[in-house]
Amino acid sequence: MHPDRFLADHENVRHDLEHPSSPRTWLGYVAEACSRRFASLATGRSRCSPATTFSQWRHRGKALLSFGEARDAALRKWMETNYFLPNSMVDRNHPRTTEENRATIAQKFGVLDLAPVVSEPFRQWVLEDAFIAGRPAWEQVGAQMTTDVAPTR
């Protein structure tokens, strides 16, 4: 699969293109949400502003636009200027579980968990500063804002 495209022949993608109001894939869900927003704005029944959601891979935005094109060229055009999918990166490692982890959890919570997930204290959250209608002050809660997430991967 080319990283900028979706699997157009996949059964679930075909389903989403043929039955847009009952999607099975993330592409179908987002395209349907955009389609509904586009329709409500076109009829004047809504004052929704453009939208932004995050992706952890740059190619997802390109795949979504390709899917939108396959569904409806007018929808794709609307999505290009009204729906942003900035790149993001979250780094928080989860080292191998130890007997000490299991014992600590059993003692603290009274639960015997044979496969607990314990993360290290380090965390990093990097967001591409590419929002369509303003943004929260994510940097105030520890996010690193950047024009390009790729070098932080």
The verdict on 80 and 93 lying in the same domain is no
- Burial status of residue 101 (CB atoms within 10 A of its CB: 0-12, 13-18, 19 or more): middle
Ramachandran sector of residue 132 (left: φ over 0; alpha: ψ -120 to 50; beta: rest): alpha
The verdict on 78 and 94 lying in the same domain is no
The verdict on 144 and 79 lying in the same domain is no
The last residue of a domain, from among 56, 85, 114: 85
**What tokens appear for 44 in the block?**
């004047």
**pTM of the full predicted structure?**
0.66
**What tokens appear for 11 in the block?**
């059964």
The verdict on 1 and 72 lying in the same domain is yes
The verdict on 99 and 125 lying in the same domain is yes
Cα distances from 86 to residues 17, 25, 64, 107, in angstroms, run: 24, 19, 12, 42
Per-residue pLDDT tens over the stretch 72-129: 999 999 888 888 888 888 887 778 889 999 999 999 999 999 899 888 888 888 888 8
User: What is the total count of domains within the chain?
Assistant: 2
**What tokens appear for 8 in the block?**
């157009």
Per-residue pLDDT tens over the stretch 107-118: 999 999 989 988
The verdict on 126 and 59 lying in the same domain is no
Parent domain of 46:
1-85
